[in-house]
Every structure is written in structure tokens, then in C-alpha cells.
Amino acid sequence: MYEQAKKEYAAYGIDTEAAIKKLKAIPVSIHCWQGDDVAGLDGGGELSGGIQTTGNYPGRARNFEELKADITKAFSMMPGKKRLNLHASYAVGAAADRDKYEPQHFASWVKFAKELGLDGIDFNPTMFSHKNVKDGLTLSSPDENIRKFWVEHCKACLKIAEYFATEMNSHCLVNIWIPEFGKPCLVNIWIPDGYKDVPADRLTPRLRLKKSLDEILACGYARSKVIVAVESKVFGIGVESYTVGSNEFYQNYAAKNNICCLLDNGHYHPMEYVSDKIPALLAFYDKVALHVTRGVRWDSDHVVLFEDELKEIAKEIVRNDATDKVLIGLDYFDASINRLSAWVTGQRAMQKALLYALLTNHAELKKLQDKAEYTTLMVKQEEYKTMPFGAVWKEYLKREGLSEDYLTDIKEYEKEVLSKR
């Protein structure tokens, strides 16, 4: 099947071997929080900040060892290059509060990542599920003590990120980012700040947020090791009327301060598409970060599937030669289904979308667009949809030592491990 598919794609000017080789080199950052429904390990408190999980499927990881075991099993069924994405609330054995976190509280994660041979670790300050989220506000709070606590938390996270980058370099032989400095750690700042009803003042909270971010960035972190991103959101539960960290605020702040924007495709109005935003940002930014999710009518964080918008996101990354510029991370959590199946299905969907994009002759399609040959362009784009993509995907899995069937393995793990928790 693969040899026939290889010939068919060759007729369109596409080298399937080159596509598979390229796919193997594109890292995807896998979020740890699918395994325990964003509960975390630091005992910070119940979920807040408009974040919620629905469902109570048996087998949720309850501690570090269980979460490690589940990640190990899930990663063993995922093809391609993988990174691990952590929230600060996953500190292991930390007696200190979040503003006093240190690298030692994450040493166990580094050891684990090295054992799995991962490409690196990414990091997120956790500014929710904590007593110091006062009146729904953190970095924009009018309470100076609250702001200071979260500023110090973010500064601590930057130091921890430097530690991740340094440690993972000592393990990795090849560095696709900056060889002399190791694997940079993406630190993504998202805050839940906003108001449920119509605010009396929209500017002042944003000025306070700007001041807080300025203080965080002034801590002197190593830009060669840490990529800072800011993540916007249009609204959330309890902040329906006003979000302090809006898209306009963060895009301007990031551009002015030479940091990165992170686009979560669940954080916009339903008629806005992240696939369209990626090339817009690539015109101005060296790096663009993604949280790939699937929103159903709102930011519901459903499991990522191989569907149209995901394909379009991957096309923009590939056709613009931006596989080293767009930092791909997954961000969803579903407690109504087997959590390992959620992890694996979403990661494989992302890989499928990238392969689908790599198996397209974008140069030819761009020429048709520039020549205004729109009829031919439409027909050619439709032809790609019935090409033997599945045969190339199966070949890729075979070379990764995997099969299409991962459900059988997951069901066995559920029977032997998850059902006994």
C-alpha cells in the first residue's frame, strides 16, 4: 500500500520519504494535566479561574507516581518527537508556597523527562486554584500584596525554566533551537483575571497587569534558555463581560517587549480561526506559540481530533516553513473518557494534521493563487482530500514501532492499572 501511495504522491511532486523525515523532527509538547483533571500536586485548592472538568471516568492519577506511570504509558503509544508541558502546580514535595518555588521542586520531573528521552520541558505559572486569587484577580489585582505574590511566582517560574533548559541540554544530543544553549523552555503566562458583569474601569486593571509583567520580565532571565509567552482569552466562566488579558493587550505588549504570543484556538470567538492568526503573527514575530485544543461552542477543551481547523493550522505551519518558528503544544482535558485515550488521540491527531500538510504541494497551490487560477486551485485542493494519506500514516507508525490500534493496549492498561485506583 505504501509503495503505491508513494508513486501517487510523486505524481503531484511530493516526496513521501521527505515528509516522514520532516514529521519526525517536529516536536509537540504534551500537557501533563490531562492525567489528573488539572488537580495538580501542590494542594493549591479546588479548580478556579473559570477552569472546569466534566466527567468522572475511573482511573484519575492521584499522585506523582501514578501520573508518571500514565504519562509513560501514553507516550509509548505516541509517534514522533515529544516534549512535556508542566504547570507549576505540579511541584513535587514542595513545602513552600508558589512564590517560593525552586528548581529542586521539579528535579523529579527532569529526571523523568530524561528517562523518557524527551525533547524538552515547557512550563506554566499556575495562577488559579489558590487562596491568593482574590476576587478573581491576580497580576491585575488592586491589592498590592496579591500582585506581589503572583509577580514573585512568575519570577520563580522563569528561574525554574532556566533549570529545565540547562538540564535537558545535558541529556539531548541534537538541539533544533539554539545548539549552544540547549533546549529553550517555553514559559506561558495566562491569568484568569476579569469581571463577570460590566466593569466601571477597563483601563486601570490593564495598567496594573502591564506593571506586573514589566516587573516579571525585569528579573533578568536568560532569553537564550527561556521563551516567554503571554496567552489571551476572549472570556471565561465568571469573566463573561471583561478579560484583562485580552488579545489586543497581549499582542501589543508582546511586540513592544520582544516576547511571544501564545494562541489557544479555544480562546476566541467561534468565527475566529487561529489558522488565520498564525501567518498574521509570523509577519512580525520570530516565534509563535500554540495551545491546540478543540472548543465546542466555547473554550470547552475537548480532545483534539483530525478535523478541518486542525488541518488548516498545520498547513499554515508547514506551507510557511515555520516548523521551527511555531511552538506546538496541546491543551485539553476530558474527564468523561479514558484519559490515556484522550492524550494519545489528540497527539496522533496533531501528527496526522502535520503529515497531511507535509503531503501537499504548497508551492504549486501558491502559484495558482498568484495567477488567479482559482478554479484549478479549488479542484487541486479537493484532489488532495482523496489521496492515499492513510497508507503513508500507517508507514510512519510502522517506522515508529507503533500500530494504528492503540485502543486495545489502553483497555488492557485500564483493566490492569486504572480500574484498581
- Active-site positions? 190, 231, 233, 264, 267, 291, 299, 301, 331
Q: Which residues pair with 210 in a beta bridge?
A: none
Report the distance separating Cα 419 and Cα 60, nearest Å: 10
**DSSP character at residue 294:** B
Q: Say which residues have a Cβ less than 8 Å from residue 7's Cβ, sequence separation at least 6.
A: none
* Residue 206 vs residues 88, 138, 216, 242: alpha-carbon distances, Å: 24, 12, 15, 11
CB 105 within 8 A of CB 93: yes
**Residues, the chain, total?**
421
**DSSP character at residue 297:** S
CB 342 within 8 A of CB 334: yes
CB 102 within 8 A of CB 158: no
Report the distance separating Cα 202 and Cα 54, nearest Å: 32
**DSSP character at residue 82:** E
CB 306 within 8 A of CB 314: no
The amino acid that residue 220 corresponds to is: G
Rounded to the nearest 10 degrees, what angle do helices 2-10 and 389-399 cross at? 120
| Strands 326-330, 288-292: pairing kind | parallel
| Strands 242-243, 194-195: pairing kind | antiparallel
DSSP string for 266-287: TSS-TT--HHHHHHHHHTT-S-
Report the distance separating Cα 228 and Cα 277, nearest Å: 19
| Phi, psi dihedrals of residue 399, rounded to the nearest 5° | -70, -20
11: helix, coil or strand?
coil
CB 349 within 8 A of CB 313: no
